[in-house]
Amino acid sequence: MGSISDHQASVEDRISELPDTILCHVLSFLETVHAVRTTVLSTRWNNLWTKVPNLHFDYYPSFSPKYEDEDADVCRNHFMTFVDRVLFFRDSSKIQNFTLSCFEESDFTRIDGWLCTATRRNVVKLDFGLHNICKYDRRVTFSFPQSLFKCKTLEVLKLSSNCTTYYPPTSGCFPSLKFLHITLHNSHDTSAGQLISCCPLLEGLTIDGHVGTRGDSVDVHFNISASKLKTLTISLSAYPTSPYNVLINAPNLKSINLSHNTVAYYSFENVSSLVNANIVLEACQEKERSTVFANRVIALMGAISNVKHLSLSGECAEGCCHQYFLPEYFLPEELVLQDCCFWDVLPAVLQISHNLQHLVLEDSTEFRSRFPEHQWYPPECVPVCLFRLKTISIRRFQGRHVEMAVAKYLLKNCKVLSKMAIYAGHGITEEKKLHQVFAMFERGSTTCEVEIIEA
């Protein structure tokens, strides 16, 4: 049996022996309050937190009725004092990531000082959230610091606030910013949109949240003009009385993702480099699933008809194939049709998809509950794309009659198809029986393989 000293030697603190750079890297994954608490471990950890490259501060008010107003004030003051002390005692090294989220009424002067300190410490990534809860006057606003607009090291900026205004200087804004994420909160203030036009090196842009409020009529315009922009994501919801217009001028745009933009009007200029598009549009009301909605969809699809990889929601595909507005062609090599309860639009989509080589059909239980499942009517003549189609995937396959009919038609008429992958949904018939059913279907391609995959 070994001695006590032998046992102590076998459990020596190897973590504390690691270099400062590695320990600081480990602490960077913690919220700052927890990183500071590591000082209780030993004297070795006393000053490590002052060198951590990431700072993360979160303050959320307590909504529990057991807290009195003065307790909330004490908690808020404690949080602000903590941030002050961390920034004061931290060493002078660069701040890589700075996350600051404040909910409830706050001291805007101190928040301004914190952000300015991050600027002086050459912050690279800033995630800033500031929200006043309903019991406070939302007309009181916080002005985004001018020093941040001029920050030469800032590359990533994420903003989420219902009480912040953004008024950039006339020149020299965001000289290094590459990625911008703006979250809107039912605000009529459109100053956040001004940020987009003053980022000369912007490569990635995300705009999400909500536009307008119920019963109000607000006309919002987003002018997205960025010569180096490569990826664009817009995921906004809005009331029918709050339409918004989006103008996109991005000659180097490669990928676009538009979702839930129910009342948006899109205009495109100079987007010939676009390769990938994911379009998920939904009509706000049943009456919108008509000429008005179709007009919006067709205007949008006409601008992106040359993309190689296209993903469409069911409602968008239906609007696109409106009998009065059928576009002349699509040129995607890969097409994903989401929420395929709109089976009746599939023939029209195939007829205009001249270059199609890969087809993905996705079913959706949610959409089948919202809309009655449409019938499948085989096209009168075989679409040209079926002579080029190489692979087909049907996801969330349930083995319903309409799904079987579609799969049977495609197997029969695709002349160079190499593979059909069936991703069987929950509760599907046994895989062996499904194989037997598909083995009986006529195939237009002698080299086609059918693969049943349990999802």
What pLDDT does 284 receive? 55
Q: Which residue has the tokens 């916080």?
A: 142
pLDDT given for residue 216 in this prediction: 59
Q: Is the pLDDT of residue 417 over 90?
A: yes
pLDDT of residue 63: 41
Whole-number pLDDT of residue 329: 65
Residues in the chain: 455
Amino acid 61: pLDDT:
59
For the chain, domain boundaries? 14-52, 317-455
pLDDT for the residue numbered 324: 47
- Highest averaged pLDDT of the listed ranges 163-177, 408-422, 423-437: 408-422
For the record, the structure tokens of 203 come out as 């490569």
First to last CA, the chain: 55
185 bridge partner residues? 210
Q: Contact at 8 Å (CB) between 379 and 353?
A: no
In whole angstroms, give the CA distance from residue 75 to residue 270: 52
Q: Which amino acid is at 34?
A: H
Please give the residue that has the higher pLDDT: either 397 or 49.
Answer: 397
* Position 69 pLDDT exceeds 60: no
Asked if 270 and 305 touch (Cβ cutoff 8 Å), the reply is no
What CATH fold (topology level) applies to the domain 317-455?
A: 3.80.10
What's the pLDDT at 66?
41
The closest alpha carbon to 117, from 84, 79, 165, 77, belongs to 84
